Amino acid sequence: MAQLDHQDESYRCLDCGKTNVPLDFHSTYEVEDFKVSMEEPVESAPREFLRVPIVPLNTAPLFTMGPFELPIGKVARVVNIHWNGNGLEPLDFSVPFSDYWDAISGKRYNAHEMFLMDLSGIDDGKPNFGALKKLIKHRYEMWLDLGIRDVQDLFDSFAMDISWAVAGSLSCPSLEIFEEMYDLSDRCVPCAYVDREVRWERGREGPSEIGRLIRELDKIGYERVAVIDLARLGSREGFSTDMGATLEGTDIELVIGGGVRESDFDTMSEMGFIGALVDPFTPIIKSIVEGAGEAEPAETRMPSSSPSESRKDPLPTPDITCPMKVA
């Protein structure tokens, strides 16, 4: 264990000698399943356009609340957000996390991934680990931005068994932190938050021009980068084709967010982007969350993932249980 039997702050397996993040199994059955999954051959499949709803969590009020009489999923709130020029600000509209997740993971929307944003962690450096651990659903692919500011935050992210640790420019102090994280893990996604220029943590600096930042991340070795248009985030006004034209043709895999609606998917895919970070409450999502009627209106139907029909069964969970690179 780090600092106990290894002073270099690393975790080293006594069986194989590899340096890695420790895995937390709840039973011996999970250990055996993990071993089997590591031995099974991985079949390649055509890449599907990623459709990942952004889920902003306002966990700050939970710090001052007493013991919960309700499940944490009913207490934690998913909020809509907007960029006020200096930070991410929650708006009045909100729903319990459990209601939101039931809506987007149900048959009408059929989402199998989510982009969790802990607003307290991003803005104030105070992620609510207790709430996040209880909310993260291990059956699904979870992206988490808890406001990574140093390497320890990266370790804390993977301690919750997520799929992707998102390192956003709003909390990262400089480009150097991305170099450190790349050396440790290939399950970290840099996220450039852009308001005309890349916005970094207050008082810190990094490349301000989005094209330059992407080139620098490409040089480091990253294969996937997320970009969020802050001016459009939460607006449901649609994907910015101007930003798309700026980023089109980039060699690195890009997932774009900020105002994105379901009707933008085809355009974004045609422009060469591998996926979209969907606004928290698009008209379709809000309609489902509010339980608008038993019938599913055509204008609020989630676009199919194939020409024939949408996917009915959950996507197979990717092998993300060993995210850290071997030293």
* Per-residue pLDDT, 78: 93
Could you read off the pLDDT of 222-263 as tens digits, one per residue? 999 999 999 999 998 999 999 999 998 888 999 999 999 999
Q: Is residue 63 part of a domain?
A: yes
Distance of alpha carbon 116 from alpha carbon 128, whole angstroms: 12
| Burial (CB count within 10 angstroms: exposed 0-12, middle 13-18, buried 19+), residue 29 | exposed
CATH number, domain of 210, equals 3.20.20.70
Where in the sequence is the domain holding 159, given as residue range(s)?
49-300
User: Number of structural domains, the chain?
Assistant: 2
* Same domain, yes or no: 75 and 220: yes
Same domain? For 18 and 80 the reply is no
Cite the beta strand spans of the chain per DSSP E. 50-57, 77-83, 88-96, 113-118, 141-145, 164-168, 188-195, 197-198, 224-229, 253-257, 275-278
- 249 and 220 part of one domain: yes
pLDDT of 165 over the 60 cut:
yes
Domain-located, residue 323: no
Residue 236 falls inside a structural domain: yes
Structure confidence at residue 312 (pLDDT): 36
Same domain, 56 and 1: no
Residue 310 reports pLDDT greater than 70: no
Instruction: Taking residues 275-283, report their average pLDDT.
Output: 94
What is the model's pTM?
0.75
Q: What is the mean pLDDT of residues 266-272?
A: 94
Residues 26, 117 share a domain? no
Is the same domain home to 29 and 147?
no
